[in-house]
């Protein structure tokens, strides 16, 4: 099943390989519970975290999981890789099935979110969501105030035929900038500094929306998001 939401009769039919006519009978016989209540409406919409039981047996019973990780440099934001360790390799066994919400490059570090909630991920990473992501960027050459206006104006990327959304650049010191993006194009920050022929030496994500990287997490460590963090998004 591809989407996260299904009509009840279709969901039961697919998970039990029973035809929908027979599923209707099961519902009429009150053999199906959704989140503990008898379900009789074939049109009821089932989400990925609704508990569905048939004759007392769970057909679906999954809890949502939301984690933050302090991603180290040299680890790939992917579920599988032939050459490098992946962020999934760093997770405890019970979290191996999670997916990544918004990647970081191999040589970037910092805040990475992981979840089993596809809808949450899509909302957070969709171009319309405009969730702000902050990065601390260390550069090889000195920064100048020119960068501020160039980042704010947006840059045209011919390969994708897009102009980047206005980005905020704050000069923290001669070689360090804080960059805030509302999107996440391929190697976006490196390519933006590339326009100035200024290579990025270090790239570290410090926040995604209101969620800040927990300073108590060492590189490679992860923890569950708190209720307050989840509610803040
Ligand atoms: N921009 C980049 O170039 N790399 C990242 O990992 C994130 C943003």
Sequential DSSP letters for 13-24: HHHHT--HHHHH
pLDDT category at 155 given cuts 50, 70, 90 is very high
Each residue's pLDDT tens digit, 191-233 = 999 999 999 999 999 999 999 999 999 999 999 999 999 999 8
The ranges of the chain annotated as CATH 3.10.290.10 are: 6-60
- The protein residue whose alpha carbon is closest to atom 7 in ligand 1 is 104
Distance of CA 131 to the CA centre of its chain: 11
pLDDT of residue 3: 65
Residue among 78, 111, 113, 135 whose CB has most ligand 1 atoms within 8 A, to mutate: 135
Q: Is the pLDDT of residue 140 over 90?
A: yes
pLDDT category at 1 given cuts 50, 70, 90 is very low
CA-to-CA distance for 91 and 116, rounded, in angstroms? 13
pLDDT of residue 128: 80
Q: Is the pLDDT of residue 63 over 50?
A: yes
pLDDT of residue 163: 95
**Centroid of ligand 1 to alpha carbon of 104 (angstroms):** 6
pLDDT category at 46 given cuts 50, 70, 90 is very high
pLDDT of residue 13: 94
- The CATH superfamily of 66-232 is Pseudouridine synthase (3.30.2350.10)
**Centroid of ligand 1 to alpha carbon of 129 (angstroms):** 18
Average pLDDT over residues 27-48: 95
The ranges of the chain annotated as CATH 3.30.2350.10 are: 66-232
Catalytically active residues, by annotation: 105
DSSP structure string for 172-208: EETTEEEEEESS--TTHHHHHHHTTT--EEEEEEEEE
Q: What is the pTM of this model?
A: 0.87
State if residue 183 touches ligand 1 by the CB under 6 angstroms criterion.
Answer: no
Q: Which residues have CB under 8 Å from 93's CB, separation 6+?
A: none
Residue 152, beta-bridge partner list: none
Q: Which residues have CB under 8 Å from 140's CB, separation 6+?
A: 175, 198, 199, 200, 201
Average pLDDT over residues 96-120: 95
Domain 6-60, CATH 3.30.70.141 — does that match?
no
């Amino acid at each position: 099943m591809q989407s996260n939401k299904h009509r009840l009769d279709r969901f039961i039919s697919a998970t039990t390989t029973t035809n929908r006519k027979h599923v209707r009978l099961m519902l009429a016989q009150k053999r199906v519970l959704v989140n503990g209540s008898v379900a009789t409406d074939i049109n009821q919409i089932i989400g990925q975290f609704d508990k569905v039981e048939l004759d007392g047996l769970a057909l679906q019973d999954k809890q949502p999981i939301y984690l933050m990780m302090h991603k180290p440099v040299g680890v790939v934001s992917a579920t599988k890789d032939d050459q490098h360790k992946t962020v999934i390799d760093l997770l405890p066994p019970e979290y191996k099935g999670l997916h990544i919400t918004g990647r970081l490059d191999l040589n970037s570090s910092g805040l990475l979110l992981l979840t089993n909630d596809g809808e949450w991920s899509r909302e957070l990473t969709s171009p319309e969501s405009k969730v702000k992501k902050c990065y601390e960027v260390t550069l090889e050459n000195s920064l100048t105030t020119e960068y501020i206006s160039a980042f704010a104006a947006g840059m045209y990327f011919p390969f994708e035929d897009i102009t980047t959304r206005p980005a905020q650049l704050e000069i923290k010191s001669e070689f360090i900038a804080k960059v805030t993006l509302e999107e996440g194009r391929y190697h976006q920050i490196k390519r933006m500094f590339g326009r100035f022929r200024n290579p990025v030496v270090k790239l570290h994500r410090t926040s995604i929306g209101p969620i800040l990287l927990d300073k108590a997490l060492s590189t490679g460590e992860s923890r569950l998001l708190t209720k307050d963090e989840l509610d803040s998004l």
